[in-house]
Amino acid sequence: MRMKEKAISKLAIMGGTFDPIHIGHLVTAEEVRHEFNIDEVLFVPTGHPPHKSNMNMTTSEHRYLMTVLATAANAHFKVSRLEIDREGVTYTIDTVKELKKIYGKQVTIYFITGADAIHKILTWKESEELLQICEFVAVTRPGYNKQELLGQIEELNRNYQSSIHFLEVPALAISSSNIRERIHNMRPIKYLVPEEVENYIKKYNLYEYKICLTAKEREQMCNYVASKMSPKRYAHTRGVIEMALEFGNIYKISCDEVFIAALFHDVAKELPQDEKHAVCAKYAIELDTFEARHIHLAHGKIGAAILEHEWGIHKPSILDSVRYHTVGREGMCDLEKIIYLADMTEEGRSPYKGKEQIKHLALYDLNRAMYKALYSSYSYVTNILKQEIHPVTHKLLEYYKQYDL
Ligand code: NAP
């Protein structure tokens, strides 16, 4: 038998974009619940808010699911799809009226929202009626100009016989935009959002940093790289860019990211020895024993450090593509393979046995192309140059053997 649900007399609506939801929202909801003796807090992620029609928000479904994950452990918290399922622009007045129908006329509704919304409340659809049919809780972050807000609340309550309350929530020092910015800058968000939300963001790559270069930035980067190498090496670099862009297009990798990785892959190759050592010392680059003996093999790591510290590029896939293009590494991502393969197959590189086959394979199977490319490097270094091969390259060759179909 289903237990009879306790009638709800006080319902709080926690309206917001929740892009993403964070612990500031959860603490706020819990604080309001306690302060106003609320039976249930209903989180209502916005659908298409009237004031944000052109903005680039994360899809409603992602925002809704993150809200569900974040609130699942609290028996007093629920999440509603009311606004995200509603066609067209969503207005709070429609939501409140619909919830009154669902929960019954006896329910007192408290609408929790950021203080900024209160300043603009009179511009909302049917705002006068809204102020009559529900109470508001305006929450502020630390540092907010409380006096001005309190004055406005008093005026609204006097003129519209409304019940707007005020609550300061220290945990709201966190904001969704701050979380998004931290992700852009590769900073941790652990403990700022529930662990389930953090994992969800990672799983779907939400808020990931997307690099967009202007024509001027491209030109500045090209001039810098050209100044660090001979015209012959720069011509090779241009060839790698062209080849990598062709591969990148097939594997749907951002052109700007392919461009940066290809442009900088050899930026440190022709630096004088002492300069190479100086950059290693400056950025505390760790060299393995093999690289320490053959410093020219460290030019990938040195180039990556230059790209990160002097050009402010922090995206791991780009840095790893520069860092490991010389000897490769286990677990290479598509961009790393693309740079490795473009380096081996660009038009200007003198023809060698297998070059055309590697290029051809790279157009539809990066792993098969990697096996052929590693095999070719291995044979060239050991048989022609008669040099020692890096143990990682040796191990990789063994790994990629499974793709030799
Ligand atoms: P928002 O863009 O998500 O938030 C704006 C600011 O207020 C942000 O700093 C946000 O912090 C904070 N905030 C928003 N909701 C909050 C909450 N419940 N608790 C604590 N802080 C909150 O949202 P918005 O545009 O202000 O909309 C808030 C609610 O008002 C939504 O339910 C929306 O539908 C409603 N609204 C209705 C109308 C209308 O009916 N005409 C017009 C505007 C807004 P974070 O970024 O950290 O979340």
- Ligand 1 atom nearest residue 130's Cα: 40
CATH class of the domain at 215-403: mainly alpha
- Ligand 1 atom nearest residue 93's Cα: 40
Look up the CATH number of domain 10-203: 3.40.50.620
Mean pLDDT in order along the chain per 10 residues (405 residues): 64 95 96 96 86 66 96 97 89 94 93 89 94 95 85 94 92 88 85 96 83 90 97 97 96 93 98 94 91 90 95 88 92 94 96 94 96 92 86 90 88
Same fold yes or no, 10-203 and 215-403: no
Sheet with strand 10-16: strands edge to edge: 77-79, 40-45, 10-16, 108-114, 135-140, 164-168
Domain coordinates in residue numbering, the chain: 10-203, 215-403
pLDDT per residue as tens digits for the range 76-97? 999 999 999 988 788 999 999 9
Strand partners, 79: 43
- Ligand 1 atom nearest residue 139's Cα: 20
pLDDT per residue as tens digits for the range 164-207? 999 988 887 899 989 998 887 778 999 999 999 999 998 888 88
Note the pLDDT of residue 83: 94
Residue among 13, 14, 17 whose CB has most ligand 1 atoms within 8 A, to mutate: 17
Question: Would you tell me the crossing angle of helices 255-264 and 299-311 to the nearest 10 degrees?
Answer: 120
b/e code 192-220 from CB counts within 10 Å (16+ = b) = bbbeebbebbeeeebbeeeeeeeeeeeee
Note the pLDDT of residue 171: 80
Residue among 92, 113, 127 whose CB has most ligand 1 atoms within 8 A, to mutate: 113
Note the pLDDT of residue 56: 61
φ, ψ of residue 43 in degrees (nearest 5): -80, 130
Note the pLDDT of residue 1: 35
- Ligand 1 site residues (CB inside 6 A) read 14-17, 24-25, 28, 46, 49-51, 90-92, 112-114, 116-117, 124-125, 139, 172, 175-177
Q: What is the DSSP letter of 5?
A: P
